[in-house]
Structure 1
Amino acid sequence: MLMDQFPNEMSSKYALQPLAKSQIPKLLEILKSLLPDSIIAYHWLLNGSRWIDGHGLDSKILILCPNGDTNDGSMVGLIDGLAGHNKIFGTVYVQPENMDKMKIAIKETEHIEWERLKHLIGVWRRFVPHLSEVMRAKGVEFTENYRTVNAMTILKAASLPSPKIPENIRVGPLDGSHLDVFCDNWPHYDPEFRPVIEKMLQCNPSVGIFTRTVPNEQETLVSMVVQADYGGIGLLQTTRAHQRKGYGEIALVTLTKTLAEANILPFGFIVLENEKSMALFKKCGFEVIGVMCKIIMTLK
């Protein structure tokens, strides 16, 4: 559920305050107007709201803005009740001219449970020093994982040529029955994130590449990709025995076109050291628009 009511309390001048559910559409409009700079925050909030309102997800989204004001798009988004072991995860967005104010607001708020926060995704590199200073002052231990944001316009994505499908290959959507294969082959798999991956497969667009064995037509899932919880193209992977056959490219292009057809901006979030994924996204027409950070907490 999206929280509607909050206790009255005195706040510091710039403390983060929660938004009521009725304020979320206005924030989404503002974040949409700030695209592509707000690319993670906008799609994270849009996707999370859809999961809760449209798919009955029994979790809570908490949106915090400086003094509860949505006008400049500054926000911290937190989702509680989805990740395993009672963990919270979220995102942070702020425009360059508001970073000092946002730093104070995060420092002064009482609404972030740092001891349960697992990660913050999509923090622009420009704001990491500000946020890091606040977290260190609060005794939060963390690591910084930098990633490029690779995006493509909806118009360009919709006009991509459909990939050629080899014989004995089927391209189709994934569902919850593919969860184990997904988790077993994802090199960054975290058991606490398993419920999140399950929800991705149940609710978000996805593409699987299946090999078919003649004559009995048994299928094996060999390559897969899904729209991630933050709204981007994520968890692209091909099983080891079927790599270097072009299956990852087929999956990526197919999902990119699927998102464009749904009027969703296609983008990916790629670890800087992942040169293979960088090259694949570039080959398929994506452009790097900046570098963001996933801040991963060391929880005790």
Structure 2
Amino acid sequence: MLQPHGRLYESFSVFCPCEQLDDLRLVEEEDVLIDWSRPIYLNFTHHLILEHLENFYTASIGTTDKVCGDIYVCTSPLEDVQPEELPPDGAEMLQLKPEHAKEIHDLYPANDMESVEVFEKLITVLPAYGIFSSGELAAWMVQSYYGAMFSMQTRPEFRRKGYGIHLAQYLTKVVTLRGYIPYVVIRPENDASLSLYKKLGFKKHYQTVRAVLRPHGYDDANDAPGGGGNDDDDDTAAPSDD
């Protein structure tokens, strides 16, 4: 049986309907799946669930560090969207290759939460496209392992050329044809992305939160790279996204 970082339950999921938040007391009482003496990383958790857990956690265990993002889902038929054409400046859109992963990762706003290897795998198995200007990667967008379309970025020197909306529109179509429901995670303060995706028919469904729950007095040096550690195994002692 695999035990990442020496722990049997390195990663797990909890499902709870928002109308049954009182059932989260089962999480609060859990002491097998959850080790409350170590940091816990929550990825895209509904804000109501996080608020409930935060009240419990901060009362006696530790602190929380949060980043909010709103879930926007494409609800309009693709045929209702007028296609955007690339400007006649010699730019072309191509499928990304694994060798582009490091360049993308270096400029990814939340690269402390994803590794270069993650981007390499995404580019290999999921839709991932870039717009190249004179052979230089100017803008890019990929589909994530959790289903969302993410990491749509344009280098500053190539902005205001329509590259972003062209990529977003194309990837929305590809994702739909693959049987996925297109959605994105947008930070509330990102007005440019909000405007772009609203033009493509995306509508807000709910707010989600990425959070780190950290016990009071916890020493990060106890953890191995990737968020795990094992006090009983010296061999496991001694980077990451939106």
TM range (shorter): 0.7 to 0.9
Question: 4+ residue runs of structure 1 moved beyond 4 angstroms?
Answer: 88-92
Secondary structure of residue in 1 paired with 2:119: helix
Q: Could you say what secondary structure the match of 2:22 adopts?
A: helix
Tell me whether 1:260 sits opposite 2:182 in the alignment.
Answer: no
Task: Check 1:99–1:228 CA distance in 2 against 1; reply closer, same or farther (3 A cut).
Answer: same
- Does the alignment pair 1:112 with 2:34? yes
**1:209/1:247 contact within 8 Å kept:** yes
What is the Cα deviation at residue 91 of structure 1?
6.0
SS at match of 1:183: helix
SS of 2:105's equivalent?
helix
Distance 1:178 1:113 in 2: 38
In structure 2, what is the equivalent of residue 162 of structure 1? 83
2:152 aligns with: 236
User: Would you say the 8 A contact 1:227–1:233 is kept in 2?
Assistant: yes
| Structure 1: 5+ residue stretches without partners | 6-58, 61-79, 82-87, 213-218
Q: Does the CA-based 8 Å contact 2:67-2:211 persist in structure 1? A: yes
1:275 correspondence with 2:191: yes
- TM-score, structure 2 normalization: 0.75
- Cα displacement string for residues 77-105 of structure 1 (whole angstroms, at most 9, x for unaligned residues): xxx68xxxxxx677654212321112323
Say which SS state the counterpart of residue 287 (structure 1) adopts.
strand
1:58-117 Cα shifts (integer Å, max 9, x gaps): x99xxxxxxxxxxxxxxxxxxx68xxxxxx677654212321112323532421355364
Q: What is the identity percentage for the equivalent residue pairs of Structure 1 and Structure 2?
A: 24
Aligned residues of 1:150 and 1:267 also touching (Cα < 8 A): yes
> Aligned with 1:105: secondary structure?
helix
> d(CA) in 1 for partners of 2:58 and 2:102?
37
Q: Deviations over 1:161-182 (max 9, x none)?
A: 4331233121122121111220
- Secondary structure of 2:145 counterpart: coil
Given residue 186 of structure 1, which amino acid in structure 2 is its aligned partner?
Answer: Y
Using CA pairs under 8 Å that are at least 6 residues apart, name the structure with larger relative contact order, 1 or 2. Answer: 2
Q: How far apart, in 2, do the equivalents of 1:296 and 1:90 lie?
A: 15
- What is the CA–CA distance in structure 2 between the aligned matches of 1:89 and 1:239, rounded to whole Å? 35
Structure 2 runs not aligned, ≥5 long: 221-242
The alpha-carbon distance between structure 1 residues 233 and 138, as it changes in their structure 2 partners (threshold 3 A), is farther
1:138–1:255: structure 2 CA closer, same or farther, 3 Å change rule? Answer: farther
Tell me: CA distance 1:266–1:89, structure 2 relative to 1, closer, same or farther (3 Å): farther
Counterparts in 2 of 1:179 and 1:113: CA distance versus 1, 3 Å: farther
Count of residue pairs the alignment pairs up: 210
Counterpart position of 2:103: 181
